[in-house]
Amino acid sequence: MARKAMLIDESKCTACRGCQVACKQWNELTGWEYSKTVNTGSYENPPRLTPQTWTRIKFTEYDSRQGFRWLFLKEGCMHCGEAACVDVCPTKALKKQADGRVTVEPDLCNGCGYCSQFCPFGIPKLEVASVITGQAKASKCTFCQDRTDNGLSPSCVKTCPAQALFWGDRDKMIAAGKKRVETLKTRGFAAVNLYGEEVVGGLGRLYVLIEKPETYGLPADPQYPAMAMMWQNVIQPLGKIAIGGTVLGTFVAWLIIRRNIKMEEVE
């Protein structure tokens, strides 16, 4: 199956935030963040991704040689080709689909938070149901799994009035992104670039940026966390062995106690 991707042309984005509204409506992301927010002195609203906000437009004030400029970035899950969140998830709640999408099954999530800790972009968020018990669920963009499973585009792509969002085979999205980069270069955007083609196994969320990634707050060279590999191949297996040893020890102790009881009955 061909890998899918979203192409986001930030040179066209007007920050209308129609994508944010469409995401909330389609995925029924209701909660306190839906109606309540905090004014932090910026046009950003809400101020960060949350369990009820899977995509948002980030505002960056940039003083370029051409003068002051707003830079807009559509934040959300990158659907990495090498998805550390999937690799470290102990319950397999996060899954890598055949077309490259990284999805979440909330019923399997135990709220451990490893996905948030190991994500190079810090995307997955935990919705804490109980501080006392630690009960929580991971939450993030799934590229509107119910829509894309049925051949439709994600809701944010469908609703974008500026036509800054595109969805399709990743190879085609890369080709379209590179073509757009070349067009913008002829218009004087010297720093324009396509972000996400190769980093972290290739991202499922590709960006046409008119400035360097760092200017938008994106890591220039994100890496698959080395600890994630150790966690998957060393720490988790050792933990299972330790748990197995504890269970086995308990069982052996029970057999010994049971035998002693029987011997006392014989005596």
User: Stretch 201-230: mean pLDDT, rounded?
Assistant: 93
Asked, for residue 111, whether it belongs to a domain, the answer is: yes
For residue 138, being part of any structural domain is answered with yes
Residue with tokens 């004087």: 188
Would you call 131 exposed, middle or buried from its count of C-beta atoms within 10 A (0-12, 13-18, 19+)?
A: exposed
Query: Is a pLDDT exceeding 50 seen at residue 17?
Result: yes
Query: Is the whole model's pTM more than 0.75, yes or no?
Result: yes
**Residue 257 placed within a domain:** no
Average pLDDT on 54-62 reads 93
Torsion, CA 201, CA 203, CA 209, CA 212, rounded to 10: -40
Would you say residue 235 has pLDDT above 70?
no
What CATH number should be reported for the domain holding residue 104? 3.30.70.20
- For the ranges 32-46, 96-110, 183-197, 204-218, the lowest mean pLDDT is seen at 32-46
- Which residues, at least 6 apart from 68, have a Cβ–Cβ distance to it below 8 Å? 61, 62
Q: How many domains are there within the chain?
A: 1
Provide the residue range defining the domain that includes 38: 10-162+210-224
In a domain, 156, yes or no: yes
In a domain, 35, yes or no: yes
Q: Does residue 204 fall inside a structural domain? A: no
Residue 44 lies in a domain: yes
Residue 3 lies in a domain: no
- Residue carrying the six token digits 């970035």: 73
Q: For residue 64, what pLDDT is reported?
A: 74
